[in-house]
Structure 1
Amino acid sequence: MSGVLVIRTPSGLSGDMLLAGLAVMAGEAADIGSVLAAAGLPLPPDAVEIRPHALQGISGWQARVRLPHEHAHRRLGDIMALIEASHLSAPAKTVAARAFTLLAEAEGAVHGRPPGEIAFHEVGALDSILDTCVAAELLARIAPDRLVCSPLPLCDGTVRCAHGPLPTPAPAVQELLRGVPVRGLASTGETVTPTAIAFLRAAGFAFGYWPEMVIRQTARIYGGRVLPGVPNGALFALGDAGLAPVEQRPKGLTEPGSEST
């Protein structure tokens, strides 16, 4: 049987939610600092903590990120060099590099410039490097054969970025959503971040219904924002492809409809 990783996103998805969910699925939530330290990134080992969190009485997990503010505007080449110099596994480097390339291509399309000339602002900040690179390493450790995500929810609203307030979805997200199934959400605000959609596409997630699988573990993951009027949090599930074999019935029981008349 092959491993299946499923993400369901009733209220959307962000980079820190991906990081938290994959940490729990990989069994590294309590030791995420060691994962970060081993990655060899220019980030403090206590930059993130995965801890229990509850919303409306429903327990789950949340990533708490603590990073210094920086003014650096990195270009794609800078981030590629950072990834290459890290101690990430080869599969993780591939996914992380692809995610930032997709982001650069999307930003380039928005601003009418080549991807290599784009100076990242939000997505070049330390938190996006943390989310993307560590999530890529965690995914490599899980090593599922199949990746499935629900159609992504979108709603109207605004998002603040380096260029000022913009309507949702943000322009880079709009570019990255090409070919991705979406659905409307009766709320307001940003539901899908550039880091999240770039990672999903870089990792090769398919978008659709729940696949046939035998679930081994699940986790509910919360982000840093609460959207009004909708169920918040994402569901992560890990299991094996296919259906479980039908258990043999205890002796003495008959099949439905087979009773004597």
Structure 2
Amino acid sequence: MSAAGEGHTPEGHGHHHGHTHHHGHDRSESGKRHGRVLTIRANSGLSGDILLAGLLRMTDTGEAETDRLLSAILPELSGTVRLAKRQVNHIGGWHAEVALPHQHEHRTLADITTLIAVSGMDDAAKRLATAAFTLLATAEAAVHGKKTEDVHFHEVGALDSILDICLSCELFTRLAPARFVVSPLPLADGGVACAHGIIPVPAPAVLELLEGIPVRPFPDEGETITPTAVALLRSLGATFGPWPAMRVERQALVYGSRVFVNAPNGAIFAWGPGDG
């Protein structure tokens, strides 16, 4: 078992990063949210932009506040994200439209953790984002036979992953759910193009991060789950299983960039008080 999975089984989540259930309720705003549940039902998969769009909806974060949070992460990220309505197969949902400046920096884990540390993010969000990037670096190191500190992020370290991970952690910290329940993750066969050419899916880094996580078959081909998404689920302390008993107060159908022709598209997000 790689270090990517150690201490992050679905049952024993989050205890390495100060994000146990009782810690989440020490924050002043979240006392009234005791017993709240966040669930994600991943119909056709999960990516960083799907998680980001869903959390923007669950927190009801508007454009001005989104820009303020982005500026606190990195000034050049301001104005790069817009939550838009989108239809897929005539069914309306939400989509995060991202327009990033071109930047081809290759960053190490140390570069990224420093960037997070000096940012204006909430301290709890900083811990979660650092944990997610550490999981990614550990998985990439295991795949490529390197030391974690020698991993250079290419796809993962690009601005879009910094954006997806840091803003998602900031929004999740605001929700501070007592329970975070995700459906078993859908996986397909096939391949995906990356810096190393065409590789089989699930991508090697995803495979490393999937240990201990329930999965199910998906009736199409290609990448359904991204490394960014799995690292976020682990660092945010997700448990995996069926719909939790809850009263739905807020819900959204969220689409990613990819469209699968013969299968339900998108992921369902729901938020509300737990029942029992």
TM-score of the aligned structures, taking structure 2 as reference length: 0.85
Residues 11-36 of structure 1, C-alpha deviation per residue, up to 9 Å, x if partnerless? 00000011110001001044422321
Residues 55-96 of structure 1, C-alpha deviation per residue, up to 9 Å, x if partnerless? 112111100110122221100000000000101101100110
Distance 2:101 2:67 in 1: 16
SS in structure 2 at match of 1:220: strand
Whether the aligned pair in 2 keeps the contact of 1:16 and 1:63 (CA below 8 Å) is: yes
The structural deviation recorded for 1:131 is 0.2
Structure with a larger share of its residues in helix: 2
The structural deviation recorded for 1:42 is 4.3
Distance 2:69 2:91 in 1: 28
Query: Equivalent of 2:98, from 65, 69, 84?
Result: 65
Aligned to 1:45: 78
Q: Is 1:194 matched up with 2:227?
A: yes
Distance 1:211 1:145 in 2: 12
Q: Is 1:36 matched up with 2:36?
A: no
Q: Which runs of 5+ in 2 are unaligned?
A: 1-33
Distance 1:197 1:131 in 2: 12
Distance 2:77 2:160 in 1: 11
Aligned to 1:212: 245
The equivalences for 1:99-178 within 5 A come to 99-178=132-211
Distance 2:235 2:75 in 1: 22
Whether the aligned pair in 2 keeps the contact of 1:96 and 1:132 (CA below 8 Å) is: yes
SS in structure 2 at match of 1:185: strand
Residues 146-177 of structure 1, C-alpha deviation per residue, up to 9 Å, x if partnerless? 10000000001111111111010111001000
Distance 2:235 2:149 in 1: 18
Whether the aligned pair in 2 keeps the contact of 1:189 and 1:227 (CA below 8 Å) is: no
Whether the aligned pair in 2 keeps the contact of 1:8 and 1:234 (CA below 8 Å) is: yes
Sequence identity, in percent?
A: 52
Q: Is 1:4 matched up with 2:4?
A: no
Distance 2:198 2:48 in 1: 20
Whether the aligned pair in 2 keeps the contact of 1:215 and 1:240 (CA below 8 Å) is: yes
State the one-letter code of the partner of 1:28.
T
Whether the aligned pair in 2 keeps the contact of 1:155 and 1:190 (CA below 8 Å) is: yes
Distance 1:76 1:35 in 2: 22
Residues 181-239 of structure 1, C-alpha deviation per residue, up to 9 Å, x if partnerless? 00001101100011101000010000111111111110000001102210001000001
Q: CA RMSD in A?
A: 1.1
Whether the aligned pair in 2 keeps the contact of 1:52 and 1:59 (CA below 8 Å) is: yes
SS in structure 2 at match of 1:215: coil
Q: Is 1:184 matched up with 2:217?
A: yes
Aligned to 2:26: none
Residues 101-155 of structure 1, C-alpha deviation per residue, up to 9 Å, x if partnerless? 0000000000111111100111000000000000000011111111000000000
Aligned length: 242
Whether the aligned pair in 2 keeps the contact of 1:99 and 1:132 (CA below 8 Å) is: yes
Distance 2:47 2:124 in 1: 21
Whether the aligned pair in 2 keeps the contact of 1:13 and 1:192 (CA below 8 Å) is: yes
Whether the aligned pair in 2 keeps the contact of 1:20 and 1:29 (CA below 8 Å) is: no
Q: Is 1:88 matched up with 2:88?
A: no
Q: Which runs of 5+ in 1 are unaligned?
A: 244-261
Distance 1:211 1:85 in 2: 37
The structural deviation recorded for 1:51 is 1.1
TM-score of the aligned structures, taking structure 1 as reference length: 0.90
